[in-house]
Amino acid sequence: KAGVTQTPRYLIKTRGQQVTLSCSPISGHRSVSWYQQTPGQGLQFLFEYFSETQRNKGNFPGRFSGRQFSNSRSEMNVSTLELGDSALYLCASSLTGGETDTQYFGPGTRLTVL
């Protein structure tokens, strides 16, 4: 079974631009969560999608958004990029997103904002 895949793996953008990251979950998984990992703030939960609906959201500004498609693939978008958005963005999938479900993580997308 293929694991969680994220594209692209590396990305360089400049301040003010916008960016879209993609995540393909494990086949059969309907929940996709996104996380931001930075040296300063550590690992933080961004949001979770289930059946094309955002079900949970972390404490991030509205510049961070996402969506999920009918095949469970998910994208996250960051508009008006800031230097502080430089981070590793991780996607994780699970069967239902339940609190005892096991999440499987992708390798991440490394975003650098110049």
Partner 1 sequence: AQSVTQLGSHVSVSEGALVLLRCNYSSSVPPYLFWYVQYPNQGLQLLLKYTSAATLVKGINGFEAEFKKSETSFHLTKPSAHMRDAAEYFCAVSDRGGSYIPTFGRGTSLIVHP
Question: Which spans of this chain sit near partner 1 (rule: CB under 8 A)?
Answer: 4, 33, 42-45, 48, 55-56, 58, 90, 92, 94, 97-108
| Token duo for residue 93 | 């999938």
Residue 70 or 100 having the CB closest to partner 1:
100
Residue 84 or 107 having the CB closest to partner 1:
107
The distance of closest approach from Cβ of residue 97 to partner 1 in the complex, given in angstroms and rounded to an integer, is 6
Burial of 37 (0-12, 13-18, 19+ CB in 10 A): middle
What is the per-residue burial (b if ≥16 Cβ within 10 Å, else e) of 42-71? eeeebbbbbeeeeeeeeebeeebbbebeee
The distance of closest approach from Cβ of residue 27 to partner 1 in the complex, given in angstroms and rounded to an integer, is 17
- What type of residue sits at position 24? S
Residue 109 CB neighbour total at 10 angstroms: 21
Residue 48 or 85 having the CB closest to partner 1:
48
Residue 42 or 62 having the CB closest to partner 1:
42
The distance of closest approach from Cβ of residue 15 to partner 1 in the complex, given in angstroms and rounded to an integer, is 25
